[in-house]
Structure 1
Amino acid sequence: MKYNIYCLIFFIGFYSVSQAQEIQWESIAPGIWKGTTGVPESYDLLSAANPTTKMAAIEKLGAAPFPMDKKEVTARQKDGKTYLKFPLTREEQLFGFGLNFKTVHQRGRIVRLHVDHYGGVDNGRTHAPVPFYVSDLGYGIFINSARYLDIYAGSASRLDSKDPAIARDRNTDPEWTASPYSDGVEILVPAGGVEFYLFAGPSPLEAVQRFNLFNGGGPLPPRWGLGFTQRVHRLYDQDDVISEVDEFEKRGFPLDFIGLEPGWLSKSYPNTFDWDAERFPDPAALAATLKKKGVGLNLWINPYVSPEADFYEELKPYYGSHTVWAGAVPDLSIEKARNIYWQKFKKDHIGVGVGGYKIDEVDGYDRWLWPDVAVFPSGLSAEQLRQTYGLLVQQQSAKLFREQDRRTYGLVRASNGGGVSFPYVLYNDYYNHKDFITALINSGYAGVLWTPEARASDTAEEWLRRFQTVVFSPMAMINAWASGTKPWTYPEVEEKVKAMALLRMQMMPYWYSSFAEYHFEGMPPFRGMNLEPGFEEKIQVQHRNAIDLESNPYEEALKKEIKDQYMAGPSLLVAPFFAGETSREVILPKGNWYDFYDGSYAGNGEIISITARLDQIPVFVKEGGIIPMMEPRLHAPAKGETFDLEIRHYGETPSTYLLYDDDGESFAYEKGDFSWREIKVEKDGSGKWKGTVSKAAKGKPDHIGAVSWKFMTNQ
Structure 2
Amino acid sequence: MKFSDGNWHVPEYLDLLNPVEVYQARTEGNSIVITAPTWPLAGRGNQINARLLTIRLFSPMEGVIGVRSEHFRGGLDKGPHFELYPDEAFTPEISIGDDYATLTSGNITVRVAMKDRWKLEFLRDGKVISGSDFKAGGHATDKSNGKQTHMFERLNLGVGTKVYGLGERFTDFVKNGQPVEMWNRDGGANTEQAYKNIPFFLTNRGWGVFVNDPGRVEFEIGSEKVSKAQFSVPGEALEYYFIDGPEPKGVLDRYTALTGRPALPARWSFGLWLTTSFTTQYDEATVTSFLDGMAERDIPLHVFHFDCFWMRGLHWCDFEWDPETFPDPEAMLARYKDRGLKICVWINPYIAQESKLFEEGKEHGYLIKRQDGSVWQWDMWQPGQAVVDFTNPDACDWYAGYLKDLVAQGVDCFKTDFGERIPVDVAYHDGTDPETMHNYYTFLYNKVVYEALQESKGKDEAVLFARSATTGGQQFPVHWGGDCYSDYDSMAETLRGGLSLGLSGFGFWSHDIGGFEATASADVYKRWCAFGLLSSHSRLHGSKSYRVPWLYDDEAVDVLRQFTKLKMKLMPTLYSAAVEASKTGLPMMRPMLLEFPEDRACDPLDRQYMLGDKLLVAPVLDASGDVEFYLPKGRWTHILSGEEVEGGCWRNENHGFMSLPFYVRPNSLIAWGAVDDKPDYDYADGTLFALYALEDGKTASATIFADKGEKAQEISVARSGKTLSVSVSDSARPWRLRLQNVPKATADGLSISETAEGIVLEGSGNAEITL
For normalisation by structure 2, the TM-score amounts to: 0.76
Q: What residue is the counterpart of 2:59 in the other structure? A: 27
Deviations 1:171-225 (A, max 9, x none): xxxxxxxxxxx33222120122233222111112211221123222222111110
Q: CA deviation at 1:357?
A: 0.9
The whole-number CA distance in structure 2 between the counterparts of 1:303 and 1:575 is: 37
What is the Cα-based RMSD across aligned positions, in Å? 3.2
Q: What residue is the counterpart of 2:550 in the other structure? A: 488
Q: Residues 532 and 206 of structure 1: is their aligned pair in 2 closer, same or farther, counting only changes over 3 Å?
A: same
Q: CA deviation at 1:689?
A: 4.8
Q: CA deviation at 1:121?
A: 6.0
8 Å CA contact 2:345–2:415 kept in 1: the answer is: yes
The whole-number CA distance in structure 2 between the counterparts of 1:568 and 1:45 is: 35
Query: Is 1:206 paired with 2:206?
Result: no
Query: Is 1:355 paired with 2:412?
Result: yes
Q: What residue is the counterpart of 2:464 in the other structure? A: 410
Please give the secondary structure, in 1, of the residue aligned with 2:513: coil
Q: Which has the larger radius of gyration?
A: 2
The whole-number CA distance in structure 1 between the counterparts of 2:49 and 2:713 is: 62
Q: How does 1:214-613 map to 2 (within 5 A)?
A: 214-233=258-277, 235-268=281-314, 270-316=316-362, 317-320=365-368, 321=370, 322-324=376-378, 325=382, 326-347=384-405, 349-363=406-420, 369-404=421-456, 405=458, 406-431=460-485, 432-448=490-506, 449-455=508-514, 457-480=519-542, 482-489=544-551, 490-533=553-596, 536-538=599-601, 561-613=604-656
Query: Is 1:154 paired with 2:213?
Result: no
8 Å CA contact 1:53–1:216 kept in 2: the answer is: no
Q: Residues 465 and 67 of structure 1: is their aligned pair in 2 closer, same or farther, counting only changes over 3 Å?
A: farther
Q: CA deviation at 1:143?
A: 0.7
Q: What residue is the counterpart of 1:547 in the other structure? A: none
Amino acid at match of 1:710: R
Q: Residues 401 and 249 of structure 1: is their aligned pair in 2 closer, same or farther, counting only changes over 3 Å?
A: same
8 Å CA contact 2:505–2:585 kept in 1: the answer is: no
Q: Which has the higher contact order (CA 8 A, sep 6+)?
A: 1
Q: Residues 63 and 633 of structure 1: is their aligned pair in 2 closer, same or farther, counting only changes over 3 Å?
A: farther
More displaced, 193-202 or 38-47? 38-47
Q: Residues 22 and 609 of structure 1: is their aligned pair in 2 closer, same or farther, counting only changes over 3 Å?
A: same
The whole-number CA distance in structure 2 between the counterparts of 1:332 and 1:470 is: 33
Q: Residues 247 and 66 of structure 1: is their aligned pair in 2 closer, same or farther, counting only changes over 3 Å?
A: same
The whole-number CA distance in structure 2 between the counterparts of 1:230 and 1:708 is: 34
The whole-number CA distance in structure 2 between the counterparts of 1:572 and 1:211 is: 25
Amino acid at match of 1:613: G
Deviations 1:520-542 (A, max 9, x none): 12222112112222553449xxx
Out of 685, 701, 708, the residue aligned to residue 657 of structure 1 is 701
Q: CA deviation at 1:565?
A: 1.0
Amino acid at match of 2:58: E
Q: CA deviation at 1:130?
A: 0.6
The whole-number CA distance in structure 1 between the counterparts of 2:41 and 2:441 is: 50
Unpaired stretches in structure 1, ≥5 consecutive residues: 158-181, 364-368, 540-559, 698-704
The whole-number CA distance in structure 2 between the counterparts of 1:269 and 1:15 is: 60
Please give the secondary structure, in 2, of the residue aligned with 1:409: coil
Q: What residue is the counterpart of 1:111 in the other structure? A: 180
Q: CA deviation at 1:8?
A: 12
Please give the secondary structure, in 1, of the residue aligned with 2:108: coil
Please give the secondary structure, in 2, of the residue aligned with 1:131: strand
8 Å CA contact 2:481–2:498 kept in 1: the answer is: no
Please give the secondary structure, in 1, of the residue aligned with 2:465: strand
More displaced, 484-493 or 142-151? 484-493
8 Å CA contact 2:668–2:694 kept in 1: the answer is: no
The whole-number CA distance in structure 1 between the counterparts of 2:578 and 2:40 is: 64
Q: Residues 184 and 480 of structure 1: is their aligned pair in 2 closer, same or farther, counting only changes over 3 Å?
A: closer
The whole-number CA distance in structure 2 between the counterparts of 1:6 and 1:423 is: 51
Q: Which has the higher strand share?
A: 2
8 Å CA contact 1:509–1:628 kept in 2: the answer is: yes
Amino acid at match of 2:186: H
8 Å CA contact 1:294–1:635 kept in 2: the answer is: no
Amino acid at match of 2:403: F
Q: CA deviation at 1:570?
A: 1.1
How many positions carry a matched residue from both structures?
A: 636
More displaced, 134-143 or 424-433? 424-433
Please give the secondary structure, in 2, of the residue aligned with 1:97: strand
8 Å CA contact 2:512–2:539 kept in 1: the answer is: yes
Please give the secondary structure, in 2, of the residue aligned with 1:709: strand
Please give the secondary structure, in 1, of the residue aligned with 2:563: helix
Unpaired stretches in structure 2, ≥5 consecutive residues: 1-38, 93-103, 113-119, 121-130, 142-148, 371-375, 743-757, 759-771
Please give the secondary structure, in 1, of the residue aligned with 2:468: coil
The whole-number CA distance in structure 1 between the counterparts of 2:198 and 2:151 is: 18
Q: CA deviation at 1:233?
A: 4.5
Out of 150, 166, 170, the residue aligned to residue 97 of structure 1 is 166
The whole-number CA distance in structure 2 between the counterparts of 1:604 and 1:98 is: 31
8 Å CA contact 2:714–2:728 kept in 1: the answer is: yes
Q: Which has the higher helix share?
A: 1
Residue identity over aligned pairs, in percent, reads 22
Amino acid at match of 1:35: V
Out of 657, 661, 676, the residue aligned to residue 614 of structure 1 is 657
Q: Residues 527 and 332 of structure 1: is their aligned pair in 2 closer, same or farther, counting only changes over 3 Å?
A: same
8 Å CA contact 2:572–2:683 kept in 1: the answer is: no
Amino acid at match of 1:409: V
Q: Residues 380 and 706 of structure 1: is their aligned pair in 2 closer, same or farther, counting only changes over 3 Å?
A: same
Q: CA deviation at 1:119?
A: 4.8
Q: CA deviation at 1:6?
A: 12
Q: Residues 525 and 600 of structure 1: is their aligned pair in 2 closer, same or farther, counting only changes over 3 Å?
A: same
Q: What residue is the counterpart of 2:714 in the other structure? A: 678
The whole-number CA distance in structure 2 between the counterparts of 1:417 and 1:45 is: 12
Q: CA deviation at 1:442?
A: 1.2
8 Å CA contact 2:247–2:597 kept in 1: the answer is: no
The whole-number CA distance in structure 2 between the counterparts of 1:437 and 1:427 is: 9
Q: Residues 334 and 192 of structure 1: is their aligned pair in 2 closer, same or farther, counting only changes over 3 Å?
A: farther
Q: Residues 534 and 383 of structure 1: is their aligned pair in 2 closer, same or farther, counting only changes over 3 Å?
A: closer
Query: Is 1:695 paired with 2:730?
Result: yes
Q: CA deviation at 1:354?
A: 1.0
Q: CA deviation at 1:141?
A: 0.6
Q: Residues 313 and 604 of structure 1: is their aligned pair in 2 closer, same or farther, counting only changes over 3 Å?
A: same
The whole-number CA distance in structure 2 between the counterparts of 1:190 and 1:345 is: 37
Deviations 1:381-439 (A, max 9, x none): 43323202221121111101211315132222210112222122123112211111211
Q: CA deviation at 1:267?
A: 4.2
Q: Residues 202 and 117 of structure 1: is their aligned pair in 2 closer, same or farther, counting only changes over 3 Å?
A: same
Q: What residue is the counterpart of 2:198 in the other structure? A: 130
Q: What residue is the counterpart of 2:29 in the other structure? A: none
Please give the secondary structure, in 2, of the residue aligned with 1:657: strand
Q: Residues 251 and 232 of structure 1: is their aligned pair in 2 closer, same or farther, counting only changes over 3 Å?
A: same
Q: CA deviation at 1:64?
A: 3.9
8 Å CA contact 1:311–1:340 kept in 2: the answer is: no
The whole-number CA distance in structure 1 between the counterparts of 2:191 and 2:63 is: 31
8 Å CA contact 1:229–1:256 kept in 2: the answer is: yes
Amino acid at match of 2:650: I
Q: Residues 648 and 332 of structure 1: is their aligned pair in 2 closer, same or farther, counting only changes over 3 Å?
A: same
Q: CA deviation at 1:619?
A: 1.3
8 Å CA contact 1:266–1:273 kept in 2: the answer is: no
Deviations 1:439-492 (A, max 9, x none): 122122112343232136543221110111001112111003631231233113
Q: Residues 567 and 260 of structure 1: is their aligned pair in 2 closer, same or farther, counting only changes over 3 Å?
A: same
The whole-number CA distance in structure 1 between the counterparts of 2:160 and 2:80 is: 31
The whole-number CA distance in structure 1 between the counterparts of 2:89 and 2:542 is: 43
